[in-house]
Structure 1
Amino acid sequence: MESQIHKIHQQLMAKEFTCTKLVQDRLDLLKSNTYNSVNSLLDKIALELATKVDAKIESGQEIGLLEGIPFGIKDVYMLQGTYTTASSDLLKNYKSAYTATAIQKLLDAGAIPLVKENCDSFGHGSSSENTIFGAVKNAINSDLVSGGSSGGSAVNVAKDYTVFSIGGDTGGSIRQPAGYNNVFGLKPTYGRISRFGIMAYASSTDCVGPIAKSIEDIRIVLNVMSGKDIKDQTTYQSEKISKETILNTDEIKTIGYFKNFIESDAIDSQIKADFLASMEKIKGKGIEVKELDFFESDTLVSTYYTLAMAETASNLSRLDGTNYGSRIEGDNLKDTYSITRSENFSEESKRRIVGGNQVLSQGFSDEIYLKGLNLRDQISDNFEKDFKEVDIILSPVTPNTPPKIGDSLNDPLAMYLSDAYTVGFSLGQLPTLTIPKGTATGLQISASKNNDALVLQFANFLNDLI
Structure 2
Amino acid sequence: MESQILKIHQQLMNKELSCTALVQNKLDALAANTHHTVNSLLPDYALERAAQVDAKISNGEPIGILEGIPFGIKDVYMLQGTYTTASSKLLQNYKSAYTATAIQKLLDAGAIPVVKENCDSFGHGSSSENTIFGAVNNARNPELVGGGSSGGSAVNVALGYTVFSIGGDTGGSIRQPAGYNGVYGLKPTYGRISRYGLMAYASSTDCVGPIAKSVEDIRLVLNVMSGKDVKDQTSYDATEISKESIQDTKAVKSVGYFKNFIDSEAINPKIKADFLKVVDTLKENHIEVKALDFFDSETLVSTYYTLAMAETASNLSRLDGTNYGNRIEAESLKESYAVTRSENFSEESKRRIVGGNQVLSQGFSDAIYLKGLALRDAIANNFEEDFKAVDIILSPVTPNTPPKIGDSLKDPLAMYLSDAYTVGFSLGQLPTLTVPQGPETGLQITAAKTKDTLVLQFANTLKTLL
- TM-score for both structures, normalised by structure 1: 1.00
- Output the amino acid matched with 1:389: A
Shift of 1:2: 1.5
Task: Give per-residue Cα distances to partners, 1:173-201, cap 9 Å, x unaligned.
Answer: 00000000000000000000000000000
Report the counterpart of residue 276 of structure 1 in structure 2: 276
Residue matched to 2:315: 315
Q: Which residue of 1 aligns with 2:256?
A: 256
Q: CA deviation at 1:249?
A: 2.4
State the match for 2:30 in structure 1: 30
Give me the CA root mean square deviation. 0.5
Residues 420-458 of structure 1 show CA distances to partners (whole Å, capped at 9, x for unaligned) of 000000000000000001000000000000000000000
* Residue aligning to 1:94: 94
Aligned mates of 2:356, 2:45 — CA distance in 1: 38
The Cα offsets for residues 114-142 of structure 1, whole Å up to 9 and x where unpaired, read as 00000000000000000000000000000
**1:40 counterpart SS class:** strand
After superposition, residues 5-404 of structure 1 pair within 5 angstroms as 5-404=5-404
Measure, in 1, the Cα distance between the counterparts of 2:147 and 2:417.
Answer: 13
Shift of 1:317: 0.1
Give SS of 1:315's match. helix
Q: Which amino acid aligns with 1:238?
A: A
* Distance in 1 of aligned mates of 2:149 and 2:432: 16
Distance 1:113 1:384 in 2: 38
One-letter amino acid of the structure 2 residue matched with residue 194 of structure 1: S
The residue type paired with residue 145 of structure 1 is V
Question: Is contact 2:250–2:461 with CA below 8 Å preserved after alignment?
Answer: no
Specify the code of the residue in structure 2 equivalent to 1:248.
Answer: D
Distance in 2 (alpha carbons) for counterparts of 1:226 and 1:93: 30
Confirm or deny that 1:459 pairs with 2:459.
yes
Secondary structure (helix, strand or coil) at the match of 2:168 reads strand
* Between 1-10 and 146-155, the greater mean CA deviation after superposition: 1-10
Q: CA deviation at 1:463?
A: 1.3
SS in structure 2 of the partner of residue 72 of structure 1: strand
* Pairwise CA distance, 1:250: 2.0
Structure 2: distance between partners of 1:44 and 1:86: 22
- Counterpart CA distance in 2 for 1:408 and 1:248 is 41
Q: In the TM superposition, what is the alpha-carbon distance from 1:104 to its structure 2 partner? A: 0.1
Secondary structure at the counterpart of residue 388 of structure 2? coil
**3-state SS in 1 of match to 2:16:** coil
CA–CA distance in structure 2, aligned partners of residues 251 and 273 of structure 1: 26
In the TM superposition, residue 8 of structure 1 has moved relative to its aligned partner by 0.1
Shift of 1:112: 0.2
CA distance in structure 1 between the aligned counterparts of 2:189 and 2:123, rounded to whole angstroms: 19
CA distance in 1, matches of 2:331, 2:418: 42
State the one-letter code of the partner of 1:340: T
Structure 1's unaligned 5+ residue stretches are none
Moved segments of 4+, more than 2 Å: none
Query: Which AA in structure 1 matches 2:445?
Result: I
Q: Give the match's secondary structure for 1:103.
A: helix
SS at match of 2:186: strand
- Whole-angstrom distance in 1 between the partners of 2:242 and 2:107: 21
Contact between 2:167 and 2:209, CA under 8 Å: does it hold in 1? Answer: yes
The alpha carbon displacement at 1:324 in A equals 1.3
The whole-number CA distance in structure 1 between the counterparts of 2:435 and 2:367 is 38
Q: Distance in 2 between matches of 1:18 and 1:256?
A: 47
**Following TM superposition, by how much is the alpha carbon of 1:251 offset from its aligned partner in structure 2, in angstroms?**
2.5
